[in-house]
A = this chain, B = another copy of it.
Amino acid sequence: MSQPLRLGIAGLGTVGVGVVRILRQQAALLTARTGAKLTISAVSARSKGRDRGVSLSGYAWEDDPVVLAKRDDVDVYVELMGGEDGPAKASVEAAIAAGKHVVTANKAMLALHGQALAEAAEATGVALRYEAAVAGGIPVIKSLMEGLAGNEITRVMGVMNGSCNYILTRMESSGKTYQDIFAEADGLGYLEADPQLDVGGIDAAHKLAILSSIAFGTRVDFDGIQLEGIERVSIDDIRAAADMGYKIKLLGVTEKTGRGLEQRMQPCLVPDTSPLGQLEGGTNMVVIEGDAVGQIVLRGAGAGEGPTASAVLADICDIARGVRGPVFGQPASTLETSTRASSQRPAAYYLRMALVDKPGALAKIATVLGEAGVSIYRMRQYEHDEPSAPVLIVTHKTTRAALDAALDAMDGTGVLAGAPVALRIEEV
């Protein structure tokens, strides 16, 4: 058996405690699988006294994670504090500079500073691994970077924020509004301290930026993501979409097009019979498409103690087995700066509008769409008691520019009884 692999763990929240628990309970199994004894030398967290339900006796305590990261008796620094900057980044940088391998679950840090950290780690020759940063327990980094290494990746899509998917599916099942279900989710502790990270799509976008880099050999470009959260998704749209055979999901999509790298995180419609459409509650799903493999779908818990700790352990085991290799799948120095696609790839769109109840109103809308070059695939007008008529349209594939032109022109027709809603329908 090889030397023990000595860990220093910073951050003893849910995930950190889960990691400690597995290391203690599955010690024999982990040694059988890695050939090494995995030991904890030291831990660090904000409050030393707190009872975390797991014994920390036998581990040195460090108040300062930077000091922990540099300890002589630490081979792998495990960063589970979170936060894009501050102690997380400082301690990871210190660990790399001190020649320690790093395992982290920190999506924000990687999405914003991934390139610099990868360059540093590769210069020092240490591993920097982050399976837990994307989609919790799903081994998506490993699948994409290693399992599909023979593919030119064409598209990666995912529902990667369980809280948003919970809110959207609960809205549908309960018939309640976004505001009601948001309050319910918040009360259940399902949302980040800053809920905008969840419902604004930022957390999911961090993950998408990381996947983009691996998929396409480009530098992480979080700012290049076209980002829209779920705050404006209404129960009316969820119902209307369901009636047309769709579900609304906060869907991240990254694809390399002739116009550049297109990264978007936005509420989209997907067919209710597709794997993405059938995804309920807090579960995550990532869909990877490659030229050879076709479509691979990965599904599992995207958060929580066990699933996230499972991903952290996978990285630790790989390091124990001697796996190294570039942080984003190819040397950081060879990652290209992506050209950002200036427009979204054409798609079908869902439109919901309320029309004044006058003869010719629908004709005017149809005319305006036609003049903008947007053709109608399906249309439904519902019976109604209100003075305005609810109308749903699914367009044929069109550009967002043509659609926006049509929406502008509709504004001038005088037949709209309110602002129309337009949502992209993603082909999945």
Chain A residues close to B by CB (< 8 Å): 18, 22, 26, 29-30, 32-35, 131, 137-139, 142-143, 146-152, 217, 273, 275, 278, 290-301, 304, 306-307, 309-314, 316-318, 321-325, 329-331, 334
Instruction: Write out the residue numbers on chain B whose beta carbons fall within 8 Å of the beta carbon of A317.
Output: 146, 149-150
Closest to A329 in B: B33
Find A275's partner among B149, B151, B275, B295 (CB 8 Å cutoff): B275
CB distance from A391 to the nearest CB of B (A): 32
CB distance from A16 to the nearest CB of B (A): 14
Asked if B299 and A297 sit within 8 Å, CB to CB, the answer is: yes
Take A32-B217, A292-B313, A330-B32 as given contacts and tell me if A150 and B299 are in contact as well, using a CB distance cutoff of 8 Å: no
Find A137's partner among B149, B294, B306, B318 (CB 8 Å cutoff): B294
CB distance from A144 to the nearest CB of B (A): 9
Asked if A293 and B148 sit within 8 Å, CB to CB, the answer is: no
Instruction: Write out the residue numbers on chain B whose beta carbons fall within 8 Å of the beta carbon of A304.
Output: 294
- Copies per complex of this chain: 2
Closest to A298 in B: B298
Closest to A273 in B: B278
Instruction: Write out the residue numbers on chain B whose beta carbons fall within 8 Å of the beta carbon of A318.
Output: 146, 149
CB distance from A285 to the nearest CB of B (A): 9
> Could you say which of A143, A311, A330 has the most chain B C-beta atoms within 10 Å of its C-beta?
A143
Measured in the bound complex, the distance between the Cα atoms of B310 and A33 in whole Å is: 26
Asked if A30 and B150 sit within 8 Å, CB to CB, the answer is: yes
> Could you say which of A29, A151, A324 has the most chain B C-beta atoms within 10 Å of its C-beta?
A151
Asked if B300 and A296 sit within 8 Å, CB to CB, the answer is: yes
The contact sample of 18 A-B pairs, CB cut-off 8 A, is A35-B331, A137-B294, A139-B139, A139-B143, A147-B311, A150-B312, A151-B313, A291-B306, A292-B307, A292-B309, A292-B310, A293-B301, A294-B304, A294-B306, A294-B307, A296-B299, A299-B299, A321-B325
Closest to A32 in B: B330
Measured in the bound complex, the distance between the Cα atoms of B216 and A33 in whole Å is: 11
Find A146's partner among B22, B139, B298, B322 (CB 8 Å cutoff): B139
Asked if B296 and A147 sit within 8 Å, CB to CB, the answer is: no
Asked if B310 and A151 sit within 8 Å, CB to CB, the answer is: yes
Asked if A146 and B150 sit within 8 Å, CB to CB, the answer is: no
Identify 13 new A-B residue pairs, CB closer than 8 A, beyond the known A142-B143, A146-B314.
A29-B152, A29-B217, A137-B293, A139-B143, A139-B148, A139-B296, A149-B313, A150-B316, A290-B310, A291-B306, A293-B310, A294-B301, A294-B304
